[in-house]
A = this chain, B = another copy of it.
C-alpha cells in the first residue's frame, strides 16, 4: 500500500512549527510495513491545500492530511476536499452533536464559530474525536482514500490509532522491536553493534533526549525464536546501557518496576528542579510510587528542606559528591521512601569554573543497600544538561536495584 502525507498550515511555511506530525505518521506507517512515497506541505490558502491533496493522491492509495480542521477562518481542509471532489459541504448532524457533547463534557458551551467544524463534505465518513473538538473524516475519490486529521499532535495520534490503522492493508507486516537505551549516542551504539549478526533485521535509531531507541525491523520471514536471539545478542553487547525492550520510557519503566515491588521514591533536586519528579508524575499510577520531592535550588533550601550539613556545602561546594549523597539520604530519611534520589549540578550557561565546568552533575541514589553515586560532565545547553541529568537519575535508580528491569 502506498501512502502520502499532506501537512497544511502557514506556521509550517514560515518555519514557526517543525513538522513533527509528518515524521511521526511516516514512522507509524512504515513500522507497519506500508510505504510512504511523498510528503507535501502547503499553507492555509485554498488553492495550496487543493494542490497538496491532488499531488498526494497521484502517488498514493491512502493520503493522510493533518491540519486545517479548526474553527477559524484559516482552517480550510474540508473546503478543499469539497472543491477537489466536487461534492458540497453540509452541516453534519452527528458531527455537530459530537462537538456539542465534547464541550458539554468540559462544562462549556460550544461557541458559534465551532459550528463550522461540523460543516463537512456530504460523502465523508466521520471519525469521532474524543480528544478534541475537531471531527476528523475520510473521503474516497479518484481511486484514493483521503483521511483528514487535526494538526494537534495528541489528537492526531489518537485518531490515527483508532481510525487510520484499520485502513492500512498490510499482508506481511514486519515486526519492530525497540531496544531502549540511556547513556550512549547513536554513533557509539552503531560502533558497538558493528559485526554483530542481526539475523536480517534492519537497524534504525530514534533519539529522544535523553534516551536513544534502537529499532530492529525484522522482515515477516524471520520467526519469533530467531528474533528473540537477535534481541538478546543486542542487549548483551550493550549490557547496562539497555534499560528495557519494547516497554515505556525511563519514567514509565521506573514507575512500573517500583510499583510491582511495592517500593516508593522521594527526590531532592537542585539543577533539575522538579524535572525528574514531573516526569514520574506524568505516568498514570505515579501516586503509588512518588512519595515526595524537594526542589533545593538555593544552598539554604538544601539545609532547610533536607537537612544537608552546611559544612558540606562550604567544604566541597554545592555541586559535589558529598552534597548529592546528603540530598539522597536526607530526602529518603525524611520521607520514609524506599529510595532517595539527590541531584546537584551546573546547568549553565553561567556558574561554571575550571574545576567544575558547566554540565558537571552529581547524582546519588540512597536505598536499602547504601548509596550509589555517579558523576558526569554533560555536554549541551541548559535544557540538554537538565534533561540528561534527569535521565541519568532515573537510570541510576534502575541500575541500583538488585534486580534490573531486564532480569525480572
Q: Which residues of A contact B (CB under 8 A)?
A: 10-20, 22-30, 35-43, 48, 51-52, 55, 59, 70-74, 105-107, 111-114, 131, 152, 154, 186-188, 190-191, 203-207, 215, 267, 269, 271-278, 280-282, 284, 286-287, 290-298, 301, 304-305, 334-335, 347-351, 377, 379, 381-384, 386
For the complex of A and B, the 9 pairs showing the least CB-CB separation, nearest first, are A274-B274, A15-B27, A293-B295, A273-B281, A15-B26, A274-B277, A39-B41, A292-B301, A106-B379
Are A292's CB and B274's CB within 8 A? no
Q: Give me 10 other A-B pairs in contact (C-beta within 8 A), A131-B381, A273-B277 excluded.
A: A14-B204, A15-B23, A15-B25, A18-B19, A37-B42, A40-B55, A72-B190, A273-B286, A275-B278, A293-B293
* Cα separation A349 to B215 with both chains bound (whole Å): 30
Also in contact, A293 and B274, with CB within 8 A (given A19-B22, A23-B18, A191-B111): yes
Residue pair A292, B305 in contact (C-beta under 8 Å) = yes
Contact: A273 with B290, CB < 8 Å?
yes
Q: Is the CB of B273 within 8 A of A295?
A: no
B36 and A42 form a contact (CB under 8 A) = no
Assess whether A36 is in contact with B18, with CB atoms less than 8 Å apart.
Answer: no
Q: Hey, which chain B residues are within 8 Å of A186, CB to CB? A: 70-72
* Cβ-defined contact, A48 with B37, below 8 A: yes
Q: Which residues of chain B come closer than 8 Å to A113, judged between CB atoms?
A: 187, 190-191
Within 8 Å CB of A293, what residues of B?
273-274, 293-295, 297
Each complex incorporates copies of this chain amounting to 2
| 28 pairs of residues in contact across A and B, judged by CB atoms under 8 Å | A11-B206, A12-B26, A13-B36, A15-B23, A15-B30, A15-B36, A16-B206, A17-B23, A18-B19, A18-B20, A22-B41, A38-B48, A40-B41, A55-B55, A71-B190, A72-B190, A72-B205, A152-B207, A271-B281, A273-B286, A275-B281, A282-B386, A284-B348, A284-B349, A284-B350, A290-B295, A291-B297, A293-B294
CB contacts (< 8 Å) of A19 on chain B: these are 18-19, 22-23
Chain B residues, CB < 8 A from A287: 297-298, 351
A281: chain B residues at CB < 8 Å are: 271-275, 295, 297, 347, 386
A30-B13 in contact (CB<8A) = yes
Task: Select from chain B the residue with minimum beta-carbon distance to A190.
Answer: B72
CB distance from A58 to the nearest CB of B (A): 9
CB-defined contacts of A203 to chain B, threshold 8 Å: 74
A158 to chain B, nearest CB (A): 9
Cβ contact within 8 Å between A292 and B297: yes
CA distance A38 to B51 in the complex (A): 10
Alpha-carbon gap, A293 to B284, bound state (A):
22
What's the least CB distance linking A367 to chain B, in Å?
A: 19
